[in-house]
Structure 1
Amino acid sequence: MVARTLGEDQLVVEDLSVNYGRIEAIRGVSFRVPERGIATLIGANGAGKTTTLKTISGLRAVRTGRILFEGEDITDIPSYKLVKRGLCQAPEGRGTFVGMTVEENLDMGAYTRADRKTKGYRDDLDRVFSLFPRLKERRSQYAGTMSGGEQQMLAIGRALMSRPRVLLLDEPSMGLAPKLIQQIFSIIVEINNQGTTVLLVEQNALQALRTADHAYVLETGEVVRSGPADELAADDSIRAAYLGGDV
Structure 2
Amino acid sequence: MLLELDNVTVAYGRIEALHGISLHVDEGEIVALIGANGAGKTTTMRAISGIRALAGGSIRFNGEDISRLRADLRVGRGLCQSPEGRQIFPGMTVLENLDMGAYTRRDAAGIAADLERVFGLFPRLAERRKQAGGTLSGGEQQMLAVGRALMSRPKLLLLDEPSMGLAPLVIKQIFDIVTEINQQGTTVLLVEQNAQQALSRAHRGYVLETGRIVKEGTGQELLHDPAVKEAYLGVA
For the criterion TM > 0.5, the same-fold answer is yes
Matched to 2:87, the amino acid is G
Pair 1:94 & 2:86 matched: yes
Matched to 2:13, the amino acid is G
Pair 1:209 & 2:199 matched: yes
Q: Return the match for 1:149 from 110, 116, 139.
A: 139
Matched to 2:16, the amino acid is E
**CA displacement 1:110-154 (0-9 Å, x = unmatched):** 000012xx3221111000000000000000000000111000000
Q: Return the match for 1:34 from 26, 32, 36.
A: 26
Matched to 2:111, the amino acid is Y
Give SS of 2:176's match. helix
Q: Return the match for 2:39 from 36, 47, 50.
A: 47
- 2:100 aligns with 108
- 1:170 aligns with 160
Q: Return the match for 1:181 from 148, 171, 178.
A: 171
Q: Partners in 1 of 2:16 and 2:132 — Cα distance?
A: 40
Pair 1:80 & 2:99 matched: no
Give SS of 1:127's match. helix
Residue 71 of structure 1 and its aligned partner are, at CA, apart by 1.1
Pair 1:127 & 2:117 matched: yes
Q: Partners in 1 of 2:69 and 2:110 — Cα distance?
A: 27
- 1:57 aligns with 49
RMSD: 0.7
Q: Partners in 1 of 2:46 and 2:126 — Cα distance?
A: 29
Pair 1:239 & 2:229 matched: yes
Give SS of 2:72's match. helix
Give SS of 1:184's match. helix
Matched to 2:85, the amino acid is G
Residue 190 of structure 1 and its aligned partner are, at CA, apart by 0.5
Q: Return the match for 1:219 from 202, 209, 214.
A: 209
Give the alignment's TM-score, normalised by structure 1.
0.95
Q: Return the match for 1:140 from 123, 130, 138.
A: 130
Residue 181 of structure 1 and its aligned partner are, at CA, apart by 0.2
Residue 220 of structure 1 and its aligned partner are, at CA, apart by 0.3
Matched to 1:213, the amino acid is H
Give SS of 1:47's match. coil
- 1:6 aligns with none
**CA displacement 1:49-104 (0-9 Å, x = unmatched):** 00000000000010010000011100010110000010000000000000000000
Runs of 4+ in structure 1 off by over 2 angstroms are none
- 1:3 aligns with none
Q: Partners in 1 of 2:201 and 2:152 — Cα distance?
A: 23
Q: Partners in 2 of 1:119 and 1:67 — Cα distance?
A: 32
Q: Partners in 1 of 2:157 and 2:10 — Cα distance?
A: 21
Aligned residues between the structures: 236
Residue 166 of structure 1 and its aligned partner are, at CA, apart by 0.3
* Percent of aligned pairs sharing the same letter: 63
Give SS of 1:141's match. coil
Gaps of 5+ in 2: none
Q: Return the match for 1:15 from 4, 7, 27.
A: 7
